[in-house]
């Protein structure tokens, strides 16, 4: 799980998906689907898919997590409600949309008029 979290924080969601998938399958096999480590791995896997832009897969994983949490902690538990809110965000187009890259205008070369300490041409004494 640590490698998946690290890859996700470093901005490599495709790599995080592989590690999170491994962590989830391992934790589920060793501890069962509703144990704390398994749920954490499931949440991490859903987040990795969300950050990679795979909204539908992320949505299904968050729904699965919400179902487990509803059975374990109840429908009004904090973690259950947070998971439902995150599920809504995962399926919202603006949650994963990034603004288009804008090219910044090329700065003009410095002139005497915009160099600190040199007066503009209209204020220079005649020499």
pLDDT of residue 99: 47
Does position 57 have pLDDT exceeding 70, yes or no? yes
For residues 112 and 22, the model is more confident at: 22
Q: What is the mean pLDDT of the chain?
A: 80
CA distance 25 to 113: 65
Superfamily of domain 2-96: Tetratricopeptide repeat domain (1.25.40.10)
Q: What pLDDT, in 10s, does the model give residues 73-106?
A: 999 999 999 998 888 876 776 544 454 444 445 4
How do the domains of the chain map onto residue ranges? 2-96
DSSP code at position 102:
-
Residue with tokens 């495709």: 14
In percent, the amount of the chain with pLDDT more than 90 equals: 57
CA distances from 119 to 107, 124, 127 (A): 20, 6, 14
pLDDT of residue 86: 83
Does position 111 have pLDDT exceeding 80, yes or no? no
């Amino acid at each position: 799980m640590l490698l998946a979290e690290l890859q996700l924080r470093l901005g490599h969601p495709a790599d995080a998906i592989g590690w999170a998938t491994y962590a989830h399958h391992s934790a589920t096999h060793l501890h069962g689907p509703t144990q704390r480590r398994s749920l954490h791995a499931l949440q991490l896997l859903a987040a990795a898919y969300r950050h990679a832009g795979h909204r539908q897969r992320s949505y299904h994983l968050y729904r699965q997590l919400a179902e487990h949490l509803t059975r374990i902690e109840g429908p009004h538990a904090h973690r259950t409600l947070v998971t439902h809110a995150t599920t809504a965000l995962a399926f919202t187009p603006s949650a994963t949309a990034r603004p288009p890259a804008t090219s910044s205008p090329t700065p003009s070369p410095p002139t005497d008029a915009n160099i600190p300490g040199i007066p503009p041409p209209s204020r220079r004494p005649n020499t």
